A and B are shown apart, each in its own frame.
Chain A
Amino acid sequence: MTKLFRAFGVPLSTVILMFSSIWILGLIAAPQLIMIEQSLWRMERPEGAAEISVQIDGLYNQLDVMALDRSTAEAGTDATKRAADLAALDAKEAAINAEIAALEESESTPVKVYTLANFGQMGAAHLAIFAKTIAASLAVSAIALVVCYPIAYAVAKLETPRTAAVIMLALVIPYAINELLRIFAWQMILNQNGPANLLLGLVGLDPVPFLESGTGVFVAMVYAYILFMVFPLYNVLETLDGNQVEAARDLGASTWNIHRRVVIPHARPGIAVGCIMTFMLSAGSYAVPYIMTRGTAAPWFTQLIYNRFFEATNWNVGAAYALSLLAVCTVFIFGMMRLLKVSLKDIAK
């Protein structure tokens, strides 16, 4: 802190600190805290609601009894006494009605209760979708890794810098196009009557229900997020000294061993970043499964979250669902870092 003030002077340091706090609060802490808070409560009927309803029932009974009294009073002959009795009954009835209204009011106003119950709301069906989403996202990351590693290696190490720049540019250009447009395009490609099935037809194969089987989601997801795997891998492989690869080969290493002992260990931070990014994006993707399946295949977990919020209008359970997903993603990040022996510092680089 003193170092900061010394380096930038008081006014600038204050501004820096202010922006940092806004960043930390607004971008990191606030959304999470609000979600957590939301997930931890629900509205319940107040305590003692049962006694109150018994009380209310009692009061209604009293009203019934009073209706009897009234008919007795109305049958009375003495006009003065009858008027007095009726007035007394009216007053009493008004009092009871007021009491009933008050009791009913307090009985039906729910109170906010803090509880972990929201997290226990996932039934077996939802749990299965949750598990499927995680498994599919893992698979998307794995496929993206397998596809991107050779590409990134070839571009980074085998091509001249000029060619490499052109190839990387070609990889980026599709991503300048709106994501929705690209996914809709894939939706059309993989449609029952789309070009993919047309091609299969030409080879003499039966049409494949890509969209309905969930394959479509998968394909579109690999396509949509593969770039987030290529770049971290490319960046890290770029920095590998080509002499190390040659040294390994000179010492007798096969291609597989060169990668296993030299290239992959070097690429670990890039692999970690790429897997984390593709996994998080896939697990948290809403548009891709929504557009690709349109209800024809089992939903993605994000769609369940959306439903909790906007269709079941239970924001508390929705928040609990969202947080469960976040928790798994966080576990994945740290698991990945552990597995690849990379620290936060390596990843930040």
Chain B
Amino acid sequence: MTDQSTGKAIEFDRASVRFGQFQAVQPTDLRIEPGEFFSILGPSGCGKTTLLRLLSGFLDPTAGDVRIGGQSMVGIDPSIRPTALIFQNLALFPLMPIWENVAFGLEMRGWSRARRRDRAYELLATVALSDHAEKMPAQLSGGQKQRVAIARALAVEPSVLLLDEPLSALDLKLRQHMRAELKQIQARTGITFVYITHDQGEALTMSDRVAVMNRGRIMQVGSPDDIYDRPANAFVATFVGETNALAGKLASTAEGLALMETPLGGFRAANPKGLRAGDEAILFLRPEKLRLLAPGEATENHIPARVLRRDMEGAWSTLVVEAGGQELKLHLAHDGREAPPSGEIALGFSATEAMILPKGEMSDD
């Protein structure tokens, strides 16, 4: 593995994919920088794998172009693209010992047996698997197999590493460990990582930038902070993290803020999209931004509510309340001393911490 940056840039240029009548990927423009850790996040069936297959070469765009390192990839066979793919089920070769798995790409490039064997052992050492080189894949644990798959992909020294939900088969502890390991490998090799996941925690913790996809369309591209704090639309706001959504209509606007009428009353909140009075809109309010008001405390936005239940989460607890016929959630810091609130309560939030976005499709999970 080299230490200088070997990653290449990726560009989608109005690339789209149709399967018969079904538009799996809408025309997409996207640029991924060399050496970037880029995640594609989205619900099942939204077209993530399809997008990845455009890069690996198992699929060509129905229209548009895909470029890697400035070079068009359309019509170029997967076997000669500067990419390596890590499959969700890893797809190790079960009948070859581990070292041969790792050396497979080198074998295909005509390396001598002795040379590729040495190289495989070197690579296995970097993923702490030297002792297992002569074993068969079936004899390894899930995490070990995962590392073999990584070593096998890195052996061909790709400029772009494509990972299709590589950790989804692992348990939580191992997953967290492997996240760190992947991140480290990426930093060390400088390879461009395109990482597919439907686990938002994974996308937010690992990535330089994230694209959120829905129904074959990229809904937003941005840093994890952008995605979480400044969602571009209703889908991203609801798909990433938890949120309370209040539908309503804008009453008036002023200096980046707006007053919105909802069934729970009128609220003032940020209006980043510059919506105008009379527009249908949704107000999004993260549970951690909603506060429990002390009796008599005054705020910008005030919601009378009734406690339904409290879900203990560990470091915090989620209070589920009912207000104006709608359920709302808020996070309470958990200190274990105060008695949890019950009965009739009052909630509040500051205008800058809630966001008004145009009405649109929302994620249902």
Question: Are A and B co-members of a single complex?
Answer: yes
Q: Which residues of A contact B (CB under 8 A)?
A: 241, 243-244, 246-254, 257, 261-262, 265-266
Instruction: Closest A residue to B105 by CB, please name it.
Output: A251
CA–CA, A253 and B96, complex, Å: 15
- Say whether A261 contacts B105, CB under 8 Å: no
- Say whether B83 contacts A250, CB under 8 Å: yes
Q: Mark contacts of B248-267 with chain A using CB atoms, 8 A cut-off: 1 yes-contact digit, 0 otherwise.
A: 00000000000000000000
A244, A250, A253, A265: residue with the most chain B Cβ atoms closer than 10 Å: A250
A246-B58, A246-B78 in contact; A251/B91 too (CB < 8 A)?
A: no
A252-B79, A252-B156, A254-B79 in contact; A243/B93 too (CB < 8 A)?
A: no
**B191: min CB distance to chain A, Å:** 15
**B51: min CB distance to chain A, Å:** 16
B96, B105, B109, B152: residue with the most chain A Cβ atoms closer than 10 Å: B105
- Say whether B91 contacts A246, CB under 8 Å: yes
CA–CA, A262 and B57, complex, Å: 20
Which of B77, B78, B91, B108 contacts A241 (CB under 8 A)? B91
Q: Mark contacts of B91-113 with chain A using CB atoms, 8 A cut-off: 1 yes-contact digit, 0 otherwise.
A: 10101100000001101110000
Given contacts A241-B89, A251-B108, 9 further A-B contacts (CB under 8 A): A243-B89, A243-B91, A244-B93, A246-B78, A246-B91, A248-B93, A249-B77, A250-B84, A252-B79
A251-B152, A252-B109, A253-B108 in contact; A261/B79 too (CB < 8 A)?
A: no
Q: Mark contacts of B212-251 with chain A using CB atoms, 8 A cut-off: 1 yes-contact digit, 0 otherwise.
A: 0000000000000000000000000000000000000000
What would be 8 A-B contacts, judged by CB atoms less than 8 Å apart? A243-B89, A246-B58, A246-B78, A247-B87, A249-B78, A252-B80, A261-B96, A265-B95
CA–CA, A312 and B223, complex, Å: 92
Dominant secondary structure at the A interface:
helix
What total of A-B pairs shows CB separation below 8 Å?
58
Task: Name B50-74 residues within 8 Å CB distance of A.
Answer: 56-58
Which of A241, A248, A254 contacts B104 (CB under 8 A)? A248
CA–CA, A244 and B152, complex, Å: 13
Residue B167, interface by CB 8 Å: no
- Say whether B93 contacts A252, CB under 8 Å: no
Which of B78, B83, B108 contacts A257 (CB under 8 A)? B108
- Say whether A244 contacts B156, CB under 8 Å: no
Q: For B321, what are the chain A residues with a Cβ–Cβ distance below 8 Å?
A: none
Q: For A244, what are the chain B residues with a Cβ–Cβ distance below 8 Å?
A: 91, 93
Instruction: Closest B residue to A245 by CB, please name it.
Output: B91
**A95: min CB distance to chain B, Å:** 86
CA–CA, A243 and B85, complex, Å: 10
CA–CA, A246 and B87, complex, Å: 9
Which of B85, B95, B109 contacts A250 (CB under 8 A)? B85
**A163: min CB distance to chain B, Å:** 15
Q: For B80, what are the chain A residues with a Cβ–Cβ distance below 8 Å?
A: 252
**B10: min CB distance to chain A, Å:** 16
Q: For A247, what are the chain B residues with a Cβ–Cβ distance below 8 Å?
A: 85, 87, 91, 93
CA–CA, A141 and B233, complex, Å: 64
Q: For A265, what are the chain B residues with a Cβ–Cβ distance below 8 Å?
A: 95
CA–CA, A261 and B103, complex, Å: 12
Instruction: Closest B residue to A254 by CB, please name it.
Output: B79
CA–CA, A253 and B93, complex, Å: 13
Q: Which residues of B contact A (CB under 8 A)?
A: 56-58, 77-80, 83-85, 87, 89, 91, 93, 95-96, 104-105, 107-109, 152-153, 156
CA–CA, A254 and B107, complex, Å: 11
CA–CA, A247 and B92, complex, Å: 8
Instruction: Closest A residue to B58 by CB, please name it.
Output: A246
CA–CA, A250 and B80, complex, Å: 8
- Say whether B105 contacts A243, CB under 8 Å: no
Instruction: Closest B residue to A244 by CB, please name it.
Output: B91
A244-B93, A246-B58, A246-B78 in contact; A252/B105 too (CB < 8 A)?
A: yes
A244, A246, A251: residue with the most chain B Cβ atoms closer than 10 Å: A251
- Say whether B108 contacts A252, CB under 8 Å: yes
Q: For B96, what are the chain A residues with a Cβ–Cβ distance below 8 Å?
A: 261
CA–CA, A310 and B299, complex, Å: 111
CA–CA, A249 and B107, complex, Å: 12
Q: For B108, what are the chain A residues with a Cβ–Cβ distance below 8 Å?
A: 248, 251-254, 257
CA–CA, A266 and B152, complex, Å: 20
Q: For B58, what are the chain A residues with a Cβ–Cβ distance below 8 Å?
A: 246, 249-250
Q: For A254, what are the chain B residues with a Cβ–Cβ distance below 8 Å?
A: 79, 108
A257-B108, A261-B93, A266-B95 in contact; A249/B79 too (CB < 8 A)?
A: yes
Task: Kindly list the 6 A-B residue pairs having the minimum CB-CB distance in the complex, ordered from nearest.
Answer: A243-B91, A251-B105, A252-B108, A247-B91, A250-B85, A252-B79
A246, A252, A253, A265: residue with the most chain B Cβ atoms closer than 10 Å: A252
Q: For B89, what are the chain A residues with a Cβ–Cβ distance below 8 Å?
A: 241, 243
B78, B89, B96, B109: residue with the most chain A Cβ atoms closer than 10 Å: B78
- Say whether B87 contacts A243, CB under 8 Å: yes
Instruction: Closest B residue to A257 by CB, please name it.
Output: B108
Q: For B57, what are the chain A residues with a Cβ–Cβ distance below 8 Å?
A: 250
Q: For A248, what are the chain B residues with a Cβ–Cβ distance below 8 Å?
A: 93, 104, 108
Instruction: Closest A residue to B104 by CB, please name it.
Output: A251
Q: For B104, what are the chain A residues with a Cβ–Cβ distance below 8 Å?
A: 248, 251, 253, 261
Q: For B152, what are the chain A residues with a Cβ–Cβ distance below 8 Å?
A: 251
CA–CA, A262 and B107, complex, Å: 13
Q: For B84, what are the chain A residues with a Cβ–Cβ distance below 8 Å?
A: 250-251
**B54: min CB distance to chain A, Å:** 14
Q: For A250, what are the chain B residues with a Cβ–Cβ distance below 8 Å?
A: 56-58, 78-79, 83-85
